[in-house]
Amino acid sequence: MSTARVEGRLSQLAWTIPDTLVITWRSVLRFVRLPQLLFFSTVQPVMLLLLFNYVFGGAINIGSVPFKYIQYLLPGFLVQIVVFGSTQTSVGLAEDLSRGIMDRFRSLPMSRAAVLAGRTLADTLRFTFLVLLMVGVGYAIGFRFENGFAYAVAAVMLAVLFGFAFSWISAFIGMSVKDVETAQVAGFVWVFPIVFASSMFVPVESMPGWLQAFAKINPVTVTTDSMRALSLSLGGAVWPHLWKSLAWIGGIVVVFLALAVNRYRRIA
């Protein structure tokens, strides 16, 4: 490797954070400038939470646990919100690709990771807003964190971090499909199975054996269980679930960041 090339790489690394912040700013402005998008992407999860709580609440039997359904529902719902929300990362990136602005970024002497990292960070800010909003709505309809403030904060942070990790999966998909509509459809294809084949809505034990095998290692199950442990007094010990969640998050970020940035370098 020539010295110039090494220098180029080093200066790219040094610029990763400032460049990422510029792209984050630009991606956040999208929500500010499109208030309708913000409105409907906010109303939708609120509506879903209310529907789940009042429509299914009476019917879904959570065994002998003397919970109000909202106590069971909300911790998992926060995970679901960020997982579904993460599909927007690929849509936004596919949009950039189809409009040619990705070519502009790629022709600039900026960090190769910044375009993707800026987008996933902006989406993570959106998840923070959504998760806090859902907690607020949850409180209005009877949800309560049962383990004190510190655990509540930890639960919110875990949900947001999980969303950040899934944004990277979504970024990789966005860089692979390169087309807005395909990105939208592709998002649902991978998200539905992992959301539904999990402990989010029903206990894993109620599923057929082959599905249980998947559901038990599913990062959504693991994180839903962590969320319940952090939020509820009957949720069980925190660590046995939490370390698995954090391992999943770390693993997903490392693998999909590398894959997505590699795609970004090679788009033709």
| Interface ranges with other proteins (CB under 8 A) | 2-5, 7-9, 11-12, 15, 18-19, 22, 25-26, 29-30, 33-34, 99-101, 103-110, 114, 267-268
3-state secondary structure of 248: helix
Q: What gap in Å lies between CA 33 and CA 81, rounded to an integer?
A: 22
Least distance (Å) between residue 121 CB and other proteins: 16
Q: Which is nearer to other proteins, 64 or 107 (CB)?
A: 107
Q: What gap in Å lies between CA 220 and CA 256, rounded to an integer?
A: 17
Least distance (Å) between residue 183 CB and other proteins: 17
Could you tell me how many residues make up the chain?
A: 268
Least distance (Å) between residue 176 CB and other proteins: 15
Q: What gap in Å lies between CA 85 and CA 80, rounded to an integer?
A: 8
Least distance (Å) between residue 34 CB and other proteins: 7
Q: Which is nearer to other proteins, 55 or 101 (CB)?
A: 101
Q: What gap in Å lies between CA 11 and CA 40, rounded to an integer?
A: 41
Q: What gap in Å lies between CA 217 and CA 186, rounded to an integer?
A: 22
What are the tokens at 106? 């790629």
Q: Which is nearer to other proteins, 95 or 146 (CB)?
A: 95
Q: Which is nearer to other proteins, 13 or 65 (CB)?
A: 13
Least distance (Å) between residue 8 CB and other proteins: 3
Q: Say if residues 134 and 52 touch (Cβ distance below 8 Å).
A: no
Q: Which is nearer to other proteins, 19 or 123 (CB)?
A: 19
